[in-house]
Every structure is written in structure tokens, then in C-alpha cells.
Amino acid sequence: MAEPRLRALIADDEPLARGWVRRQLAKDDGIEIVGEVGSGLATVAAIQELAPDLLFLDVQMPGVDGFGVLGMLRDVRVPAVVFVTAYDRYAVRAFEVDAVDYLVKPFSRERFAEALRKVKERLRARAEPERKRVPDRALPWILAKAGGKSVFVKTREIDWIEAARNLVLLHVGDRELPLRTSMRELEESLDPAMFLRIHRSTIVNIDRVREMEPWFNGEYRVVLKNGKELTLSPSYRSALAPFRRLLRS
């Protein structure tokens, strides 16, 4: 199965510069350009909305410069960044903020291709720990407590999961079943095709979700089929990226 295309955002206040980068990216079938923006604040908004994998970022832009953009990102996954600028004096600072590469205009197609290769290597390395977390065999059953007794619960019957102090609560229909474990340990034992982490304290069964809509401050309101309303926090918006790719394919 082919790997999903990398989602690229181009941020530069010069239309000609954006066009040049766009044309180079269009040559790579593994890249999907999800947006182009021309100011710092627009870049921040686009990152929050589009969750790109990589960002080609100009240093000097109206409103907020490239470094200011990165400084404003809170509770979102920061994309792999390639700075694209006419000035070489910011190179040291760029690598201090963990940029993948730093391109000084004008640059050659070969130099751009090298930067893109570095980006792909960085993203592959970043994804490797996530692949290792996927369980070889997801739990079909969970042993939980109910009225002083131990009961087996089919994982597919769980509506959503909530962190509660030193316990985890399984919400199954109208029942709340406590489980003495951590959210992280439980998440690593569940089928990632069935369960989605949407908040530091919430995991949801995707099959139970009726609808989602953008809410305040980058959050999403998640409504389950039983009417329960949950919140997807901005720091977990990257979890929606595979679904966005399917919608755009």
C-alpha cells in the first residue's frame, strides 16, 4: 500500500516565490500542497486548520515574521520547517528552532531537492516511534470492575474512555467501569483503527462519533451518537490528518 502523501504549506509574502516553490513541489507525487499564505498570522491560522506535515516558511513576512509564527504555535503539532529567505544572517537562529533546512534565495532546483530529501528523512524518523506504539494484537476484551465484581468488556462496545484521577473510566452505554491503568498504557493496547485520542483525558470509539464541528480556540466539539459531547483539543488535531487525506483523495 502506498504511503500517504505529505501535506505541504507554503508561507511567503512574495507571489513569485510561492509560485516557484509550488512548481517544484508539484513535480513530486508524494507531496500534496494544502495551502499558500502571505502573512505571519495567516500562516499560524493555516497550520492550526490544515495540520501540514511540512512548511516552507519565509523569514520576513507582514505582521509576524517566520520565527514569530513558530513561537505562536501552541498545542499543535509543529510541521517540519524549511526556511526560504533572501537573507543568510538568520541561519543559526533557524537551526536553533529545529528547522530542517535553510534556503537562501535564489537557490537551484538541486538545492531545493536536497532540502525536500532532508524533510522526508526527518518525517520518517519522527513517525518511527509512532509505528512502534501500534500493538501487534489489539485487546479484544478488557477486564474491568463493576459493583465489586470483575467483568469482561468487549473493546468494540466501549463508547469513550475518560481519565479520572489515578483511574480510567470506560463508558459503556449507561455504565461507568473503572480500570486501574494509565491512559497511555490503555491507548497503546487498543486498536488505533477503532479508537482515537482526542484529548489528554479522552479516548473515543470512532464508530460512536455522530458529528464534529470547529469550536473555540482551535478546539472541535465531538458529538457521540448517544448525544454525549466531548472536546478535541488543539494538541490532538493532528490525529485527524489521516481522515483529511481520505477526504481529499
Eight-state DSSP code of residue 222: E
Q: How many angstroms separate the CA atoms of 203 and 80, rounded?
A: 27
Query: d(Cα 247, Cα 249) in Å, to the nearest integer?
Result: 6
Q: Which residue is associated with the grid cell 536536497?
A: 114
Judged by phi (left if over 0) then psi (alpha if -120 to 50, else beta), residue 51 lies in left
Widest Cα–Cα separation across the chain: 71
Q: pLDDT above 90 covers what percent of the chain? A: 55
pLDDT score of 137? 62
Q: Which pLDDT band holds residue 249 (cuts at 50, 70, 90)? A: very low
Q: Residue 1: pLDDT band by 50, 70, 90 thresholds?
A: very low
Please name which of 79, 50, 48, 59 lies closest in space to residue 11, comparing C-alpha atoms.
Answer: 59
Taking 60 as the threshold, does the pLDDT of residue 142 lie above it?
Answer: yes
Residue 4, pLDDT score: 76
Please state, rounded to an integer, the average pLDDT across all residues of the chain: 86
Q: Of 193, 203, 197, which is closest to residue 236 (Cα–Cα)?
A: 197
Task: Name the residue with higher pLDDT: 147 or 180.
Answer: 180
* Residue 39 to residue 37: CA distance in whole angstroms: 6
* Residue 131 reports pLDDT greater than 60: no
Domain annotation for the chain: domains and CATH numbers:
6-133 (3.40.50.2300), 141-248 (2.40.50.1020)
Query: What confidence score (pLDDT) does residue 247 get?
Result: 43
The band of 182, judged by pLDDT with boundaries at 50, 70 and 90, is confident
Assess whether pLDDT exceeds 90 at residue 19.
Answer: yes
Q: What is the pLDDT of residue 78?
A: 87
